[in-house]
Amino acid sequence: MTNKHLWHVTADELQAYVADVAQTLSAASIEAHLLACADCRATLATVGRSAESTTEAMLRTEALWARVADRVDEPRRPLRSSNRTLHVSLASPPLLAATAGVAATLLVAVGVVSVVSPHWSFPVQLALAPLAPVVASLVAFQPGVDPAGQLAEATPLAGARLPLLRALFATVLSLVSGIAASAFSAMPLNMVALWLLPGVTFAAIIFASATVLNPTRVAAPLMIGWTVLVTDWSRRHRAVLTAETVRNLLTNEAALGWALIGVTFAATVVVYRRRDATPVWRL
Amino acid sequence: MDREFEFSGVSKRFGTSRALDNLTWEGSGQVVGVLGPNGAGKSTLLQLLGTVLVPDEGGVRIFGLDPTNFTQRLTIRRQLGYLPQTAGLYLGFSAFDLVDYVAVLKEINDRDLRRTEVRRVLIAVGLEADMHRRIRKLSGGMQRRVALAASILGRPRLLVLDEPSAGLDPEQRLRLESVVHLARTHGTVVMSTHHAEEVTALCQQVLVLDRGQVRFDGTPTALAATATGRVWLDDQADPRALRSRGSGNGEVRNIGSPPPGAQLVEPTIEDAYLLLTSEPGVPA
């Protein structure tokens, strides 16, 4: 800085001048000074470049945010089509997360047991797999996961269609997980679907019970009972615990008969409970 | 006309706090406004009417039916519209998709009828231009109107609105008034509000709740009349008044026991409400 001038324009004043927010008198004074002072002109050039680069950076950031916002709001095709065909029921993120979580638990549990004690991988898969759709369906019944939030709580619900669609979705996800889990338990692929039999029966009974009382009250004893049954059966047949034994257990006439009775009973209850489902809305 | 709803000695607690205390009340066939300070039990009362809560003590009957019985509750819900205080909508859906989904939950299964009804209610709340925008992109007031649209689907026999005007600007509140007027032609409307002028404009019956108890139940005119001779004007707040509030023209409306020679004025509903909730009184 030279001594040629008694004062110099401060950086703040120059920034205000560049941004065109300086007071009129102040701007005139700065302008007059700049005409005479080379030092301040040099500083002005720096401030100008800095202001320009700041503006450019802000514009770049805004453009980036706009792109991010557009991306976030861009309709996701698979979910959008689910919305249309299945009345948005499958697009509930908590339901997706719960189902995926249950399926992942199944996969990890069977994988860990197959490493620690391969002998028990069949029973563990048999005990856990049917529970996956049940747990996911239970989550689907909770008001907190509904896309309509509290608005859904006071509605009569859409017959059995909506929960059944949710259960179907949960079951499909769980089936994928079951197929993956069979890689650890060495269960033949053609037997993977066997666990669907108790799974579907449980889900049907819980849906039927939901037309009368809180489904959790039915699901909890069902799940505990099933786990106890499988554990007890596995202990008693420990010596002959093979894939063939498991298949024989699930495909014997008594098991199939009980499953059929369970599903038929549940369907009858659902139909009976909804027999007067005539909407009274004034459309 | 038969009573649309009836509360008999209803109490409801949340932990140690008593939201409703031995409340007895009934109503039918009109627009009922529920006034009360925060924590008075308004939302609890409306949640009981909306069949999303059950009382700890006492009984609630809606259309003569018991909402704690599954089958009867189903029958009630097939004639009920309920707007909760906080809807908690999934922001990823468009307004149309969300209302369509609620229509499915309300068993409006015919696709064409349902779509027509969804459009009708969205237009009724003034969302015709925004019905296909994602809820995330809508303002708070517009999101509130989406929830309102879902609650009036099917022209319910009983419409329960928990603070429907919260977050609405004056123009939207006018729209709300027309929605409520229309809903009145199909059945009973029960709405909680903090705006006394809404009660004046819309309601034939008003209920004032305070600390879980009914402080007043009657017409808006009768409510205003309870403060007759208890409101006076002054140029400043009178320390002897229970409550004082500005009147907008520089004068202060004092509410309470007027001093001798006070300039008494005609009370408004708001005056009466403030008087009722300011002094410890015997519940109505």
Does the beta carbon of B86 lie under 8 angstroms from any beta carbon of chain A? yes
Residue B8 CA to residue A260 CA, distance in Å, equals 46
Q: Which residue is associated with the tokens 């030279």?
A: A2
Q: Which residue is associated with the tokens 């939201």?
A: B19
Q: What integer pLDDT is reported at residue A192 of this predicted model? A: 60
Residue B117 CA to residue B216 CA, distance in Å, equals 37
Q: Among A155, A157, A161, A217, which would you mutate to test the B interface (most chain B Cβ atoms within 10 Å of its Cβ)?
A: A155
Strand residue runs (E) in chain A = none
pLDDT above 80: residue B139: yes
Residues of A in Cβ contact (< 8 Å) with B155: 281-283
Q: What integer pLDDT is reported at residue A141 of this predicted model? A: 59
Residue B86 CA to residue A219 CA, distance in Å, equals 30
Q: What integer pLDDT is reported at residue A154 of this predicted model? A: 85
Does the beta carbon of B240 lie under 8 angstroms from any beta carbon of chain A? no
Residue B54 CA to residue B8 CA, distance in Å, equals 13
Of residues A149, A156, A283, nearest to B87 (C-beta)? A149
Q: Taking the CB of residue B177, how many other CB atoms lie within 10 A of it?
A: 16
Low-confidence spans in chain A with pLDDT less than 70: 1-6, 19-25, 48-59, 61-96, 98, 136-147, 157-175, 177-178, 181-182, 184-196, 211-214, 239-243, 246, 250, 273-279
In chain B, % helix, strand, coil (3-state, to 5) comes to: 35, 25, 40
Contact A73 B137 (CB under 8 A): yes
Q: What integer pLDDT is reported at residue B110 of this predicted model? A: 81
Contact A156 B74 (CB under 8 A): yes
As a three-state string, the secondary structure of B8-54 is EEEEEEECCEEEEEEEEEEECCCEEEEECCCCCCHHHHHHHHCCCCC
CA dist list (Å): A120 to A132, A187, A194, B13: 19, 12, 17, 49
Q: What is the pLDDT of residues B225-241, one digit of tens each?
A: 999 999 998 888 888 88
Of residues B80, B137, B186, nearest to A282 (C-beta)? B186
pLDDT above 90: residue B22: yes
Look at A50-54, B144-148, B181-185 and tell me which has the smallest mean pLDDT.
A50-54
Q: What integer pLDDT is reported at residue B188 of this predicted model? A: 95
Q: Taking the CB of residue B140, how many other CB atoms lie within 10 A of it?
A: 10
Q: Which residue is associated with the tokens 């027999």?
A: A275
Residues in chain A: 283
Mean pLDDT computed over B146-168: 93
Q: What is the pLDDT of residues B254-281, one digit of tens each?
A: 999 899 888 899 999 999 999 988 876 5
Mean pLDDT computed over B133-160: 93
Q: What integer pLDDT is reported at residue B217 of this predicted model? A: 94
3-class SS of residue B2: coil
Contact B134 A73 (CB under 8 A): yes
Amino acid making up residue B136: R
Contact B78 A156 (CB under 8 A): yes
Angle at B46 between CA B41 and CA B48, to 5 degrees: 95
ipTM higher than threshold 0.90:
no
3-class SS of residue B129: coil
Shortest Cα distance, chain B CAs vs residue A40, angstroms? 48
Which residue of chain B has the CA closest to A159? Answer: B107
Q: What integer pLDDT is reported at residue A76 of this predicted model? A: 45
Q: What integer pLDDT is reported at residue B44 of this predicted model? A: 95
Q: What integer pLDDT is reported at residue A118 of this predicted model? A: 75
pLDDT above 60: residue B101: yes
Amino acid making up residue B93: F
> pTM (2 decimals)?
0.70
The DSSP bridge pattern shows strands B263-264 and B231-234 to be: antiparallel
Q: Among B102, B114, B118, B190, which would you mutate to test the A interface (most chain A Cβ atoms within 10 Å of its Cβ)?
A: B102
CA A217, A220, A226, A231 torsion-angle sign: negative
Q: What integer pLDDT is reported at residue B45 of this predicted model? A: 96
Of residues B50, B113, B160, nearest to A283 (C-beta)? B113
Q: What is the pLDDT of residues A39-86, one digit of tens each?
A: 888 888 777 666 666 666 666 766 666 555 555 544 444 344 444 444
Count A/B contacts: CB-CB distance under 8 Å: 121
Q: Taking the CB of residue A159, how many other CB atoms lie within 10 A of it?
A: 17
Look at A64-68, A205-209, B13-17, B40-44 and tell me which has the smallest mean pLDDT.
A64-68
pLDDT above 90: residue B23: yes
A interface with B, Cβ–Cβ < 8 A, is 73, 79, 83, 87-89, 91-93, 147-159, 162, 211-213, 273, 276-277, 279-283
Look at A217-221, A248-252, B13-17, B191-195 and tell me which has the smallest mean pLDDT.
A248-252
Structure-model confidence comparison of residues B246 and A91, the more confident one? B246
Comparing C-alpha atoms, which of A20, A276, A267 is closest to residue B107?
A276
The residues that bridge with B10 in the sheet, in sequence order, are B23
Mean pLDDT of chain B: 89
**Top-ranked range on mean pLDDT: pick from B120-124, B136-140, B279-283:** B120-124
Look at A45-54, B100-109, B189-198 and tell me which has the smallest mean pLDDT.
A45-54
Shortest Cα distance, chain A CAs vs residue B225, angstroms? 37
B3-6's contacts with Cβ under 8 Å and 24+ in sequence apart are: B3/B27, B3/B28, B3/B61, B3/B64, B4/B28, B4/B29, B4/B62, B4/B63, B4/B157, B4/B158, B4/B187, B4/B188, B5/B49, B5/B60, B5/B61, B5/B62, B5/B63, B5/B158, B5/B188, B5/B190, B6/B60, B6/B61, B6/B62
Q: What integer pLDDT is reported at residue B198 of this predicted model? A: 87
pLDDT above 90: residue B247: no
Q: What integer pLDDT is reported at residue A82 of this predicted model? A: 40
Does the beta carbon of B153 lie under 8 angstroms from any beta carbon of chain A? yes
Shortest Cα distance, chain A CAs vs residue B178, angstroms? 18
Structure-model confidence comparison of residues A51 and B112, the more confident one? B112
Query: How far is C-alpha B241 from the geometric centre of its chain's CA atoms?
Result: 29
Q: What integer pLDDT is reported at residue A273 of this predicted model? A: 66
Q: Both tokens of residue B130?
A: 């925004």
Contact A282 B79 (CB under 8 A): no
Which helix (H) or strand (E) element contains residue B213? strand B213-218
Mean pLDDT computed over B179-208: 91
